[in-house]
């Protein structure tokens, strides 16, 4: 039998808390080693964070960050071009809305986490709160570990998404994949969401883990070795700038000499001349001229 000291450690985090109390309460009924990440501007954020803490679950702030794709965004979504002061404000307000949080992970965020410039500002802010950062790894070239260098912020990474689809068979497959990674690498973090299908799979599988797999909180993995596979991305975000030659309409050419006045009688002269020389009038003239011929 494998001793607990050498067991694979599996951490499960359920994101997007704060919108669906019915499903979220079912998650809170699961073992309290399952952790929850709460969206700070969700209508039930404070309520669910407090319930989770009182039930012994570890609480994270699920902070919205800008994705590369265009889609509806949560209020106060972090963007790479934001100032440090703006990021400070957003994190400070998130902390006040999600009590008992000990860490933070990103909601979406492929654009933000792939920006070293942006993530350095995030890590500087997090260093004031003694938070760890769980990188949801919504993009492979996340700069979170590089950005945290020189700060006291510890970074851990998601290995598996449980419910990219809401098909129970797929979720089971992903759950087993997380177990295999934990067994092979020593630890693994899986992220899911409070969908009914995900909750059902968790209710069935977390109570039947293999004996060599231990369910743990993310904070217990902070000293586990983390591999940074990113490549440097030092580019500062480009702010929209005004065009160098903005279109200001078509300029009117001024006549070189004064225009001669045009009187109303000239209009009738032109009209009469136009009618006289029209094809129809000329046709009738020719026909009329031929009527008196035998």
Residue 90 lies in a domain: yes
Residue 264 lies in a domain: no
List the domain range (segments joined by +) for residue 106: 7-221
Residue 53 lies in a domain: yes
**Can you tell me which residue has the tokens 């700038």?**
241
Residue 31 lies in a domain: yes
**Domains contained in the chain, number:** 1
Cα→Cα distances 86→45, 56, 125, 250, Å? 21, 32, 10, 41
pLDDT tens, the chain, 294 aa long: 444 556 899 999 999 999 999 999 999 999 999 999 999 999 999 999 999 999 999 999 999 999 999 888 999 999 999 999 999 999 999 999 999 999 999 999 999 999 999 999 999 999 999 999 999 999 999 999 999 999 999 999 999 999 999 999 999 999 999 999 999 999 999 999 999 999 999 999 999 999 999 999 999 999 998 888 788 776 666 554 444 444 454 454 555 555 566 566 665 665 666 666 666 656 556 665 554 444
Pair 10, 190: CB distance under 8 Å: yes
Q: Strand runs (DSSP E) across 136-195, as ranges?
A: 155-157, 160-161, 187-192
Query: Rounded to an integer, what distance in angstroms lies between the CA atom of residue 30 and that of residue 177?
Result: 20
User: Dihedral, CA atoms, 98, 75, 65, 188, nearest 10 degrees?
Assistant: 40
The DSSP element (H or E) to which 135 belongs, if any, is strand 132-135
pTM: 0.78
Radius of gyration of the chain (CA): 34
CATH number of the domain residue 212 falls in: 3.20.20.370
Residue 18 lies in a domain: yes
């Amino acid at each position: 039998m494998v001793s607990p000291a050498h067991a694979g450690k599996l951490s499960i985090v359920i994101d997007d808390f704060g919108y669906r109390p019915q499903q979220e309460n079912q998650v809170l009924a699961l073992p309290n080693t399952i952790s929850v990440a709460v969206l700070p501007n969700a209508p039930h954020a404070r309520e669910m964070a407090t319930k989770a803490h009182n039930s012994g679950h570890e609480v994270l702030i699920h902070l919205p960050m800008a994705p590369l794709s265009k889609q509806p965004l949560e209020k106060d979504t972090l963007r790479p071009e934001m100032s440090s002061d703006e990021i400070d404000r957003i994190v400070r307000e998130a902390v006040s809305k999600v009590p008992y949080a000990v860490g933070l992970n990103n909601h979406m965020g492929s654009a933000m986490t792939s920006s070293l410039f942006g993530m350095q500002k995030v890590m500087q802010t997090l260093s004031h709160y003694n938070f760890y950062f769980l990188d949801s790894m919504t993009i492979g070239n996340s700069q979170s570990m590089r950005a945290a260098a020189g700060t006291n912020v510890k970074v851990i990474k998601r290995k598996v998404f449980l419910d990219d689809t809401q098909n129970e068979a797929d979720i089971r497959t992903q759950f087993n994949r997380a177990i295999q990674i934990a067994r092979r690498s020593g630890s693994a973090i899986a992220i899911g969401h409070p969908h009914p299908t995900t909750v059902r799979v968790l209710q069935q599988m977390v109570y039947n883990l293999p004996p060599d797999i231990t369910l743990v909180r993310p904070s217990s993995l902070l000293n586990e070795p983390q591999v940074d596979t990113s490549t440097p991305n030092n580019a500062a975000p480009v702010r929209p700038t005004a065009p160098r030659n903005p279109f200001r309409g078509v300029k009117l050419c001024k006549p070189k000499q004064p225009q001669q006045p045009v009187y109303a009688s000239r209009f009738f002269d032109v009209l009469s001349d136009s009618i006289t020389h029209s094809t129809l009038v000329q046709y009738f003239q020719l026909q009329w001229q031929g009527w008196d011929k035998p």
